[in-house]
Structure 1
Amino acid sequence: MTTTILLKKIKKRDMNALLDWFDVRQSKLYKIGWAYLKNHHDVEDIFHNTILKVHDNIGQLKEDNYFETWVTSIFINECRAVYRKKEQIAPERVESGPLDSQLELLNDLDRLEDIHKEVIILKYLQGYSQLEIADILNLPVGTVKSRLYRGLIVLRQLIEGGGNDEL
């Protein structure tokens, strides 16, 4: 089924069409959710909340071409809300030990400020363009470029500095 037909069904509040759309993009969205929350159950809850919000608010979509961007924005906002709530309840850092380089990179990425972390995740882990990221986060493209640049500089410093201040 083409995306256009699927979107028409979604706009008619066809829950099965919406679930089909999410099934195709589940892996991509899951990676974004995991980068924020690092908890499978929380990410699953975010999926459910996002599906319901998209279903209930599909009438607010102004441009069909931006459907995926709109959904991703809702998903990220849900992740941010859960992350903030968890930080208020029990702020804690993941203990690092002898990890492979990919996990160390993710730990270093997690140490970045949220504004830098989210643009790097969207650009390099999810493959969104700077323009798409600007749409998702509702920011000017120049701000996205600036955050990417600064975030990559800090990430490089963390990696070159060993990435672990605590032993």
Structure 2
Amino acid sequence: MTSIPDSIQLKRIKKQDMQAVLDWFDARQSKYYKIGWAYLKNRHDVEDVFHNTILKVHDKIGQLKEDNYFETWVTSIFLNECRSVYRKRNKQVLESSPETVASSPLESKLEVLEDLDQLEDIHKEVIILKYLQGFSQKEIARILNVPIGTVKSRMYRGLITLRKIIESGDRT
């Protein structure tokens, strides 16, 4: 299967071709799944976010102002969907915790993800976007629609707080 160049795929997406949207997401499923998992830690919730995001991208593609920022625009929609599901779940006071495995690198990664949950959302999201997804600070600023200085300060404060949580072993 040959991949379609992004410019051609975007033209199809802009014509509201649902298959083009699905193909675009399929090629980036792993990336977005990691973002969703870092927020929600629930496969079904992440799948719901995928479906909602795909529908919104398809329905609202006309709102995209600059083609160069398509992926940034999609990521913003995806993050907003994650936040929405996260808020709804917290309102229902549901607790979910990943199953623990014998002490392993996987367990350490899960512990760090749990520690991330203790951060304020504004700090958590910049750390997820930077360190789990590899976005630059400039891209994060565009995704979150905030100045780059705000991204830097949120990241700094979030990392300081995360370090304190990890060093204290204060896991909830």
Who is 2:83 aligned against?
Answer: 80
Which runs of 5 or more structure 2 residues have no equivalent in the other structure?
A: none
Who is 2:122 aligned against?
Answer: 115
Letter paired with 1:34: W
Distance 2:38 2:61 in 1: 26
Q: CA deviation at 1:96?
A: 8.8
Decide which of 151, 154, 165 is 2:158's aligned counterpart.
151
**1:112/1:154 contact within 8 Å kept:** yes
Q: CA deviation at 1:104?
A: 1.4
Who is 2:65 aligned against?
Answer: 62
**2:49/2:81 contact within 8 Å kept:** yes
Which of 88-97 and 19-28 deviates more? 88-97
**1:16-95 map, 5 Å:** 16-92=19-95, 94=97
Aligned length: 165
Distance 2:47 2:166 in 1: 31
Letter paired with 2:143: I
Give a deviation string over 1:32-90, Cα, whole Å, max 9, x none. 11111111111101111111111011000000000000000001101111111111111
Who is 1:4 aligned against?
Answer: 7
Distance 1:80 1:8 in 2: 29
Who is 1:14 aligned against?
Answer: 17
Give a deviation string over 1:2-28, Cα, whole Å, max 9, x none. 110110111011111111100011111
Q: CA RMSD in A?
A: 1.7
Who is 1:130 aligned against?
Answer: 137
**1:104/1:163 contact within 8 Å kept:** no
Alignment of 1:106 with 2:113, yes or no, is: yes
When residues 9 and 96 of structure 1 are mapped into structure 2, their CA distance, relative to the original with a 3 A threshold, is closer
Q: TM-score, normalised by structure 2?
A: 0.90
Q: Percent of aligned positions with the same letter in both sequences? A: 72
Runs of 4+ in 1 over 3 A off after TM superposition: 91-99
**2:13/2:21 contact within 8 Å kept:** yes
Q: CA deviation at 1:94?
A: 3.6
Letter paired with 1:106: L
When residues 6 and 93 of structure 1 are mapped into structure 2, their CA distance, relative to the original with a 3 A threshold, is closer
